Structure 1
Amino acid sequence: MAVFTPVELGEISDWITRDFNIGRASDLRGIHGGIENSNFFLDTIQDGKNQEYVLTIFERLSAEQLPYYLELMRHLANKSIPVPRPIENKNGEILFSLKNKPAAIVTKLPGASQLKPSPRHCALVGEMLAKMHLAGADFPQEQANLRSLPWWQETVPQILPHLDAEQKTLLSSELATQAGFFQSASYALLPQGASHCDLFRDNVLFDHPSGDHSSEERLGGFFDFYFAGTDKFLFDLAVTANDWCLAENRRDLDEERLTALMHAYQAVRPLTNDEQASWALMLRAAALRFWISRLWDFYLPRNAQMLTPHDPTHFEQILLSRKAL
């Protein structure tokens, strides 16, 4: 999350009061981190009570693409999956226009991100990810993951001129390998459905029951669904494992964390034989996807307030590690 389109409290106060039933806007703060949309914490006061929301202005996604993400969040929330619930305006709409760009308001989840996860944190994430995949089984809309193979093939030629010879060879050869994998009969057999596709540590929150910090943390929820799409569940799991289960060297997989994640996931949704056979290649696909996107953001950046591009070498190293498995 970042701020590409600045907004002040005074600019939206009348809009909030006029168009919504969430009270009076009392504070608006830009959110630091991420690279896609303009995000703000929005506080309101209704009937003497403070309420917290997240306002997002979409910078790349179109108004035609956005209903998939917002309706998916509403669908999952209705299935008791802890995700942000889109807020309707007085006309029942959940997608709006602000500063001539698409915008949405969603509920703010409780808790904070856990950037140094224990195996128990990984287990909680694995269990809820499997539940989310099952809960989305009857979600009626479909929209392809917009950052999958076609986007990789379109983006890599723009990136290659910025890389050294060794990086060019690695990127081109892995893209060719994944293109073959995606076109294979085994890939076609992998179960698919609504997937988060970006379930990094900073997109999950944990909190303590009733604010009791002496108790064990529980999972507060998953958020930032704006890379979601209809994709292979195994890809979603591989993206998650590549971030949550990193060893201390930040490139290899930590066996204890990975075992906790995988066992908890499979206790809810066991992997098929085809999924188990495709696991190593899918870990590489997940690493490639984020290496490409981070190279793109690093070498072809957009201006933004509070934006710090991620280091692309992180996922280059992860890809090299997964190729060695």
Structure 2
Amino acid sequence: MAVYTEVAFAEAAALLHALDLGDLTDLQGIKGGIENTNYFVTSERDGVTLQHVLTVFERLGFEQLPFYLHLMKHLAGKGIPVPDPAANANGDILHTIQGKPAAVVDRLRGHSELQPSVVHCEAVGEMLARMHLAGRDFELTQPNLRGLSWWNETVPVVLPFLDPDQASLIRSELAYQNHVAASPACVALPRGPIHADLFRDNVMFEDGELTGLFDFYFAGCDTFLFDLAVCLNDWCVRHSADSDDGAHDPARAQALLAAYQSVRPLTATERQLLPATLRAGAFRFWISRLWDLHLPREAAMLQAHDPSHFERVLRTRLQQAGTPAVLTSSQETCAAA
């Protein structure tokens, strides 16, 4: 759990009053996440209990946040189940706590599925494609702030903490990803607003139904394929006490990819670049977890994620020649449909 900014009960209560969300009755720090300070807030208004999430942003500034908050409103208006930021009397959805930017959004119902089944992966694939289509006419733009530029800036910072084999891998992969990104094929990939961090703990289910996508604060404009690769690398990788080798679970990977393509079929170029993009997705989270582990910020509650998991995922992707066999049948089926 990460709480960098200790929010007093009275501070949170005043903000809820300004948002016409009633009287604060409970304020609790949220487990999970390492970027922002998050609290569950419960209030009473006209005898009705309301539940929201208060986020205090620790790295993102006032100039960046309108993109994320208005993207969520845009997607909600298109029927995508995402948190809706609360506005004050002036219509502002970006607020201030202790001089830092803050937002209050409605709390989604359900729970995360950390051991997803084929059915969960199908739901995520379909909803991800719907989200990509819904965001194509979103007018604001902002680059993926944890994209290639950030990789180039951050790799030299984490290099001193790596052993020689890891250092060789991270240098060679960075060179490869720069080469791919500069290729005409990559430049031509379909792009738009993406979530960029749609891990299992950022999706809610209730009674088997997908009820919400949240934590859009890594979102940015990038390739839709990168968003898909991030999901495949988390939702469809084998996770157990006996197996964490970074390999895909065949049934879940095929289900997620087929469900995505039932809504938005991949182009031929996307299918060609999927192996490189799976590597990119693993690389991005290996770098960020190295950074969080070796260069931590002080927090009242903080537990960094283990970077070795995505190192293994990346090494597995490197060992696979071309498109992983586990994905090929799904791609070919959808391409022929």
For residue 106 of structure 1, what is the aligned residue in structure 2?
105
1:247 to partner: Cα distance: 1.8
For residue 4 of structure 1, what is the aligned residue in structure 2?
4
* Equivalent position SS for 1:138: coil
1:203 to partner: Cα distance: 0.3
- From 267, 273, 282, the equivalent of 1:278 is 273
1:107 to partner: Cα distance: 0.7
Superposition map of 1:128-277 within 5 A:
128-208=127-207, 217-248=208-239, 249-250=243-244, 251-277=246-272
- 1:285-310 deviations in Å (ceiling 9; x for gaps): 00000000000000000011221000
* Equivalent position SS for 2:114: coil
1:12 to partner: Cα distance: 2.4
What is the CA–CA distance in structure 2 between the aligned matches of 1:185 and 1:258, rounded to whole Å? 28
What is the CA–CA distance in structure 1 between the aligned matches of 2:318 and 2:76, rounded to whole Å? 37
For residue 211 of structure 1, what is the aligned residue in structure 2?
none
1:20 to partner: Cα distance: 1.4
Task: Letter of the 2:41 partner, please give it.
Answer: L
What is the CA–CA distance in structure 1 between the aligned matches of 2:2 and 2:222, rounded to whole Å? 26
Task: Letter of the 2:143 partner, please give it.
Answer: A
1:14 to partner: Cα distance: 2.8
What is the CA–CA distance in structure 2 between the aligned matches of 1:95 and 1:126, rounded to whole Å? 30
Task: Letter of the 2:186 partner, please give it.
Answer: Y
1:10 to partner: Cα distance: 2.4
Task: Give the percent of matched residue pairs that are identical in Structure 1 and Structure 2.
Answer: 54
What is the CA–CA distance in structure 1 between the aligned matches of 2:232 and 2:124, rounded to whole Å? 10
What is the CA–CA distance in structure 2 between the aligned matches of 1:83 and 1:11, rounded to whole Å? 26
Residues 11 and 97, structure 2, Cα contact 8 Å, conserved in 1: no
What is the CA–CA distance in structure 2 between the aligned matches of 1:16 and 1:204, rounded to whole Å? 25
- 1:33-79 deviations in Å (ceiling 9; x for gaps): 11100000011101101010000000000100000000000000011
What is the CA–CA distance in structure 2 between the aligned matches of 1:57 and 1:243, rounded to whole Å? 26
TM-score, normalised via structure 2 length? 0.93
1:183 to partner: Cα distance: 0.5
Task: Letter of the 1:292 partner, please give it.
Answer: I
* Equivalent position SS for 1:25: strand
What is the CA–CA distance in structure 2 between the aligned matches of 1:142 and 1:281, rounded to whole Å? 25
Task: Letter of the 2:217 partner, please give it.
Answer: Y
For residue 92 of structure 1, what is the aligned residue in structure 2?
91
1:13 to partner: Cα distance: 1.6
What is the CA–CA distance in structure 1 between the aligned matches of 2:10 and 2:212, rounded to whole Å? 31
State how many pairs are aligned.
316
